Amino acid sequence: VYQVFESVAKKYDVMNDSMTLGIHRVWKDILMHKMNPCPGTLLLDVAGGTGDIAFRFINYVRSVRQRQLQRKLRHNQNLSWQEIFESYQKDKFNSLGDSQVVVCDINREMLKVGKQKAQHLGYSEGLSWVLGNAEELPFDDDKFDVYTIAFGIRNVTRIDLALQEAYRVLKPGGRFLCLEFSHVSNPILSRLYDLYSFQVIPVLGEVIAGDWKSYQYLVESIRQFPPQEELKAMIEDAGFFKVDYENLNFGIVAIHSGFKL
Amino acid sequence: GRARPSHSEPRGRDGRGEQEEMEGWHQLYPGHIPTSPLQKALLAAGSAVMALYDPYRHDMVAVLGETTGCLALPSLRDKMKNHPEGYRILQERPRIRLSTLDMARLQGLPDGSLGREYVRFLEDNKVSPDTRMPPKFVDDEELAYVIRRYREVHDLMHTLLGMPTNMLGEVVVKWFEAIQTGLPMCVLGAAFGPARLSTRKLQVLATELVPWAVRSGLNASCVLNVYYEQRWEQPVESLREELGIFPPP
């Protein structure tokens, strides 16, 4: 799996856009809206390599924070100048409201691409990059408010271990969110989806990234991944409560969610 | 039904055997990736576009050649089979690689000999025969060798025609190869290659070089039927005469 992603890292984003015709951006936006983080949230994004989820998180809390600050300022109309000055000082340099995201990935190349993207797009504060394995996270217990893994869990050899680790590092009350390719139950759509996956995607891989085999692997790993209900059961086994899933695009993609209580 | 790999059995997720497991079906030679007709069509279209968009993607030119060569390659192979020297090449399957070429010996050969001029060509243009893509999408093991031979002999074409590896030289060689092999990739390269040349070069191309290349291509016997590895000492001029390639302008 490691070698697949080494060669894939640089062209990852281009390939994602071509394979999903840009729809993967919408899926990730939906994930963020479902998460609905408030400022002050500490997020762990596992297998987050090139930073897509992390950047969306930062944008989201920044805009929530903006609205918070605006509301605060409006309520401060009747304060003394001293009080306004003080509150302004406190909030001015806190555009993220102490929110933080830690991007963890097993692959150095993916992290490198992510860091470059962050620099290029101007993301600096509230972001850290850690090399680590989802099956054995380099973090203490009960640390994070939210754990996300977007299109990464199907590449983990022992999903149960990754889920256990997710449970461990989350604070009580923390939320587990998983965005992943899943199973299409509709038979007609399923056949069309299979046709597209097996006929078109490896060709795209060869033409765009010069790498047929990695994308053949990708398509096959999607088929082998547990379907929605099975994954839900696995998440429950790890100790999560209120586990549920939401199908996107008829099950091509699903968001699973669970809470550590 | 379409030729598709079976994907319904669950497979172990250890990365160790993933290469063999993925390619376990119908792999005819190392590096072979079996493809359905639809995939070949998509590859042909995609590689054509990408090759034009990014001329440094030599792998795309190679893929285009493989996916469109289904008519030309068998006829090329038959030409080889029906010729004593070509037949021997098909039997013995020689490969032109830096590891198999005795560079020192070739350099020591007299000027004007095939070996000396070939090495000179490689040095002057800073190219190596080892950078040719191995075939992936040809669904016949012998035809895969034929296209591989064609790629490895390409530098010798340059030497025989006296053309450098700049855009102009490459286009001229493509015209020659298009006539000789009938590979659609050569035809497309010959037709679209000139698009990136200046008008001055286009003039030279159109008035002198292409007519010469075409005449030589038509007149010459099949260049893949020459066992080059056994002819290093032969003077280039004599080989040209033997094949029927007219002296370059």
- pLDDT, one tens digit per residue, over A50-63 is 899 999 999 999 99
Q: Do B5 and A213 touch (CB under 8 A)?
A: no
State mean pLDDT over A197-218: 90
Is the separation of the CB atoms in B51 and B64 below 8 Å?
yes
Handedness of CA A215, A28, A111, A171 (dihedral sign): negative
Query: Is the per-residue pLDDT at B9 higher than 60?
Result: no
Residue B52 CA to residue B75 CA, distance in Å, equals 27
Q: Do A199 and B33 touch (CB under 8 A)?
A: no
**Partner A contacted by B7 (CB < 8 A):** yes
pLDDT at position B22: 43
pLDDT band at B142 (very low <50, low <70, confident <90, very high): very high
Closest by Cα among B152, B141, B130, B127 to B224:
B152
Q: Which residue of A has its CA nearest to B59?
A: A210
Helix (H, G, I), strand (E, B) or coil at A127: strand
Rounded alpha-carbon distances, angstroms, from residue A37 to A57, A177, B225:
8, 12, 70
Higher pLDDT, B10 or A44: A44
Q: What is the CATH number of the domain that holds A137?
A: 3.40.50.150
B contacts of A1 (beta carbons < 8 Å) = 15
**Partner A contacted by B63 (CB < 8 A):** yes
**Partner A contacted by B44 (CB < 8 A):** no
Closest by Cα among B201, B76, B220, B212 to B149:
B76
Q: Which residue of B has its CA nearest to A210?
A: B59
Give B22→chain A minimum CA distance, Å.
8
Q: Which residue of A has its CA nearest to B39?
A: A199
Give A42→chain B minimum CA distance, Å.
32
pLDDT band at A12 (very low <50, low <70, confident <90, very high): confident
Q: Do B50 and A200 touch (CB under 8 A)?
A: no
Q: Do B43 and A220 touch (CB under 8 A)?
A: no
Q: How many domains does chain A have?
A: 1
Number of H helices, E strands in chain B: 13, 0
Q: Do B18 and A217 touch (CB under 8 A)?
A: yes
Cβ-in-10-Å burial (0-12, 13-18, 19+) of B207 comes to: exposed
Query: Is the per-residue pLDDT at A7 higher than 80?
Result: no
Q: Do B11 and A1 touch (CB under 8 A)?
A: no
A contacts of B54 (beta carbons < 8 Å) = none
Helices (H), chain A: 2-8, 12-20, 23-35, 52-75, 81-92, 108-121, 159-169, 187-195, 201-204, 212-224, 228-237
Is the separation of the CB atoms in B234 and B206 below 8 Å?
no
Give B103→chain A minimum CA distance, Å.
32
Q: Give me the domain span that covers residue A230.
A: 1-260
Q: Do B43 and A200 touch (CB under 8 A)?
A: no
Pairing of strands A241-248, A253-259: antiparallel
Q: Which residue of A has its CA nearest to B54?
A: A208
Pairing of strands A144-150, A253-259: unpaired
pLDDT at position A6: 58
Structure tokens at A117: 């993207």
Nearest to A206 among B18, B36, B43 (CB): B43
CA end-to-end span of chain A, whole Å? 33
Q: What is the pTM of this model?
A: 0.77
Amino acid symbol at A27: W
Q: Do A157 and B7 touch (CB under 8 A)?
A: no
Cβ-in-10-Å burial (0-12, 13-18, 19+) of B72 comes to: buried
Tell me how far the alpha carbon of residue A191 is from its chain's centroid. 28
Helix (H) or strand (E) holding A173: strand A170-181
State mean pLDDT over A174-191: 94
Q: Which residue of A has its CA nearest to B58?
A: A210
Q: Do A203 and B59 touch (CB under 8 A)?
A: no
Nearest to B22 among A198, A206, A217 (CB): A217
State mean pLDDT over A252-260: 95
pLDDT at position A10: 72
What's the ipTM?
Answer: 0.76
A contacts of B14 (beta carbons < 8 Å) = 157
Least confident of A37-41, A75-79, A161-165: A75-79
Is the separation of the CB atoms in B127 and B155 below 8 Å?
yes
Q: Do B42 and A157 touch (CB under 8 A)?
A: no
Helix (H, G, I), strand (E, B) or coil at A201: helix
Residue A113 CA to residue A69 CA, distance in Å, equals 33
Query: Is the per-residue pLDDT at A93 higher than 90?
Result: no
Rounded alpha-carbon distances, angstroms, from residue B247 to A254, B163, B220:
67, 12, 12
Locus of tokens 């097996």: A198
pLDDT at position A84: 67
Residue A77 CA to residue B115 CA, distance in Å, equals 90
User: For a pLDDT cut of 70, what percent of chain B falls above it?
Assistant: 90
Bridge partners for A170 per DSSP:
A144
State mean pLDDT over B219-223: 86
Residues from A contacting B (CB-CB < 8 Å) are 1-3, 157, 198-200, 202-204, 206-208, 210, 212-213, 216-217, 220, 223-224
Is the separation of the CB atoms in B143 and B80 below 8 Å?
no
Closest by Cα among B242, B167, B177 to B213:
B177
Residue A236 CA to residue A243 CA, distance in Å, equals 7
